[in-house]
Amino acid sequence: MERVRVISPCTSANLGVGFDVFGLCLKEPYDVVDVKKIDEKEIIIEVDDKNIPTEPNKNVAGIVAKKMMDDFNIEEGIKITIKKGIKAGSGLGSSAASSAGTAFAINELFNLNLDKLKLVDYASYGELASSGAKHADNVAPAIFGDFTMITNYNPLEVLHIPIDFKMDILIAVPNISINTKEAREILPKSVNLKDLVNNVGKACGMVYALYNRDKELFGKYMMEDKIIEPVRGKLIPNYFKVKEEIKDKVYGIAISGSGPSIIVFPKEEFIKEVEDVLRDYYQDVIKTEVGKGVEVI
């Protein structure tokens, strides 16, 4: 095999009360990551977004590739070509998609036979470069698909819940970017015990709701974050106003990752109405559904 091309989907992390733990894979938008062998022993990167660096030591895909190639003593060189479908800095796992797609493609290209958990670990090195933390709440759902939970980091543990029922999803993308590092720096360094208990309880309730296919309960608990969204919501234009305006027409609404994108689970009878409201405030609104993770084209 000389070349592998994959689709690597966007993801939504946190989902309200699940900060740094919950992740949801979305069907679209997605990146297309193409990795092929070359004669020269080097890593070459091409990206169709001029704002993304192509130096291997500054690009998340390059960092993931170098780590994997060093660990497995791969002597050949590779060229990574990335077609970005996910806007950088949008809170939809843009760096995670490139990282996960690269890890997945290299595993296929060189027959490394790594399992999905190990691929998540390698992909998270890209997140370390982009956000300053080796977090896996975006790369895990990108690789596993569906809904994931990061329950431990040393050693890495990922729990995967397949979603076998339809969930309509709208993503509103404000025309601003939020730096993940900065979005983490503004978070409180300590939290009230009562708020912590609230978030843990609601997070448990969301998992229960998924197993029972209860979209009403899932969305209700997702909207009751007492720790992260009260802080980060201030960075997103009209977030709290929109949340209040559509709360009776949706199962749930939350900030996607560190923002500014907003993930919305509209009730079936109000999909068009909710979409119209979102378009009144935000130019870009995406209709999508739950995705199944990275796949070879």
Do the Cβ atoms of 26 and 171 come closer than 8 Å?
Answer: yes
Judge whether 127 counts as a catalytic residue: yes
* Residue 18 annotated in ligand binding: no
CA–CA gap between residue 99 and residue 95 (Å, rounded): 6
Which sign does the torsion angle of CA 90, 266, 284, 6 carry? positive
Q: Position 288: which residue type?
A: T
* Ligand-binding site membership of 23 (annotated): no
Q: Does 8 count as an annotated binding residue?
A: no
Q: Is 142 annotated as a binding residue?
A: no
Catalytic: which of 11, 102, 108, 127?
A: 127
Q: Terminal CA-to-CA distance of the chain, rounded, Å? A: 14
Q: Tell me whether residue 92 is annotated as binding.
A: yes
93 is in an annotated binding site: yes
87 marked as binding residue: yes
Has 291 been labeled as part of a binding site? Answer: no
The active-site residue out of 180, 224, 275, 288 is 180
Distance CA 250, CA 243 (A): 9
126 assigned to a ligand binding site = no
Q: Write the DSSP assignment of 224-268 as a string of letters.
A: --SSSHHHHGGGSTTHHHHHHHHGGGEEEEEE-TTSS-EEEEE-G
DSSP helix, strand, coil percent of the chain (3-state; round to 5): 40, 25, 35
Annotated binding-site residue? 91: yes
CA-nearest of 21, 19, 15 to 195 is 19
To the question of whether residue 97 is assigned a binding role by annotation, the answer is yes
Cα–Cα distance, 242 to 91 (Å, whole number): 18
Catalytic residues: 127, 180
Known binding residues for ATP are 87-97
Known binding residues are 87-97
